[in-house]
Amino acid sequence: MDIGGTLVKLVYFEPVDITAEEEQEEVENLKSIRRYLTSNVAYGKTGVRDVHLELRNLTMCGRTGNLHFIRFPTQAMPLFIQMGRDKNFSSLHTMLCATGGGAYKFENDFRMMADLELLKLDELDCLIHGLLFLDRVGFNGHPECYYFQNPSDTHSCVKEPCNLENPFPMLLVNIGSGVSILAVYSENNYKRVTGTSLGGGTFLGLCCLLTGCETFEEALEMASKGDSTNVDKLVKDIYGGDYERFGLQGSTVASSFGHMMCKDKRASISKEDLARATLVTITNNIGSIARMCADNEKIERVVFVGNFLRINTLSTKLLAYAMDFWSKGQLKAVFLEHEGYFGAVGALMELLKTTEDL
């Protein structure tokens, strides 16, 4: 599992090649957990299994099985630990592979409440390992990666599948609550170039404050319907057209939320406009910083991952647009289907590796 600032990502490998013998040996407890996880798509009020991401008939460590992707809010962590105790997880494994900040934050709770030891793994190691693994195995016969053609036009841009052949070097932009930007030179050689606190958490946090919405889904839904130009001040709002002296097009955002300095404009905008403007602000900014980092590190491929990109294509399209804009078409933004789960997959791989070693 990968315990982030906002979401916990959990991957579960369900072996399908279980022999009768094995099934016999399997304790009841484990069966009940498997049944619980595989027969539901929602857990409690907030847990979700992303069925569309399930990887079927995957071979991991010589076993064939299905890989399930489950997420729930980090806020529900105490409940999860409670469940772990109730279901007596510790009778199965005493070791749980965990990454993300929560692996540190909740370590003590796991030990005290559920008698579980966490094997804490570095989140960036896990992220890279998981990502490279999923890219290799593909997405049920399709490529894991994709990019957008015509990113400059959000209406006509088309999603195109692709593979990360010769993936290195790549700039890996992980957008969770915050953003980390890594320059990856090989599977085990990478550095964190920089990061920004303007990430998914900022989008959701601001949307909640500005629109009263409560969930990421709601916020994105609103953003998809809004018009940010009612909120943002564009170059043409200031100069009446393009600012030719500096080659700035009139449609470029000059000031995010700039119209909101004015009382009348504040009264005339909708919640949807605000949500959209927030999304555009965040994606544009990430695009700009990513482009600068790519230039500074002299890396041409920029890969975006993280749970901020989940659910709809709006954020990915906006990021693709931002990358295209800031790099003047020089850099292509690459995305992955399993957005925010690579850390958890990486942790699982580590778990398998350690059990193998035993």
Partner 1 sequence: MAECGGVDSNTSSGHTMDKSITLPPDEIFRNLENAKRFAIDIGGSLTKLAYYSTVQHKVAKVRSFDHTAKEAACDKLYEISVQEEVTARLHFIKFENAYIETCLDFIKDHLVNTETKVIKATGGGAHKFKELIEKKLGLKVDKEDEMTCLIKGCNFVLKNIPHEAFVYAKHADSEFRFQTTNPDIFPYLLVNIGSGVSIVKVESEDKFERIGGSSIGGGTFWGLGALLTKTKRFDELLQLASKGQHTSVDMLVKDIYGGSYGCLGLTGDLIASSFGKSATADKEFSKEDMAKSLLHMISNDIGQLACLYAKLHNLSRVYFGGFFIRGHPVTMHTITYSINFFTKGEVQALFLRHEGYLGAIGAFLKGAEEDNPNQYSWGENYAGSSGLMSVSPEMNPMQRARSGTFPFDMLEMDRLERQLVNLPLLQDPSSYIPDTVDLTEDAPAREYWLYCFEDALDGVVKRALASQPDMPEAAVRAEKFRQKYLHKLQTLRHQPFAYGSLTVRSLLDTREHCLNEFNFPDPYSKIKERENDVALRYYQKAVKALEELSCEDRQFALVRGVLAGNVFDWGAKAVSDVLESDPEFGFEEAKRQLEERPWLVDSYDQWLERLKGPPHKCALFFVDNSGVDIILGVMPFVRELLSRGTEVVLASNSGPALNDVTNGELQILTERIAAMDPVIQAGLREDRLTLVQSGSSSPCLDLSRLDKVLAMVVRERQTDLVIIEGMGRAIHTNYYAMLSCESLKMAVIKNSWLADRLGGKLFSVVFKYEVPAGRPDQDDAALTP
Q: Distance between CA 304 and CA 333 in Å, rounded?
A: 7
Judged by CB, which is closer to partner 1: 169, or 199? 199
Least distance to partner 1, CB of residue 104, Å: 5
Judged by CB, which is closer to partner 1: 168, or 239? 239
Least distance to partner 1, CB of residue 206, Å: 5
Q: Distance between CA 260 and CA 269 in Å, rounded?
A: 9
Q: Classify residue 294 by burial, with Cβ atoms within 10 Å: 0-12, 13-18, 19+.
A: buried
Judged by CB, which is closer to partner 1: 52, or 246? 246
Least distance to partner 1, CB of residue 202, Å: 5
Q: Which residues pair with 192 in a beta bridge?
A: 182
Judged by CB, which is closer to partner 1: 233, or 310? 233
Residue 347 near residue 1, CB atoms below 8 Å: yes
Catalytic residue among 21, 123, 244, 337: 123
Least distance to partner 1, CB of residue 247, Å: 8
Binding site residues, partner 1, CB under 8 A: 4-6, 73, 75, 100-102, 104-107, 122, 124, 176-178, 192, 194, 196-202, 204-210, 216, 231-233, 235, 238-239, 245-246, 248, 252-263, 266, 274, 281, 284-285, 288-289, 292-293, 295-296
Quick count: other Cβ atoms within 10 Å of Cβ 275? Answer: 28
Judged by CB, which is closer to partner 1: 83, or 208? 208
Who contacts 285 (Cβ-Cβ below 8 Å, separation ≥6)?
196, 198
Least distance to partner 1, CB of residue 178, Å: 4
Concerning whether 123 is annotated as a catalytic residue, the answer is yes
Judged by CB, which is closer to partner 1: 8, or 70? 8
Least distance to partner 1, CB of residue 163, Å: 30
> So which residues are the catalytic ones?
123
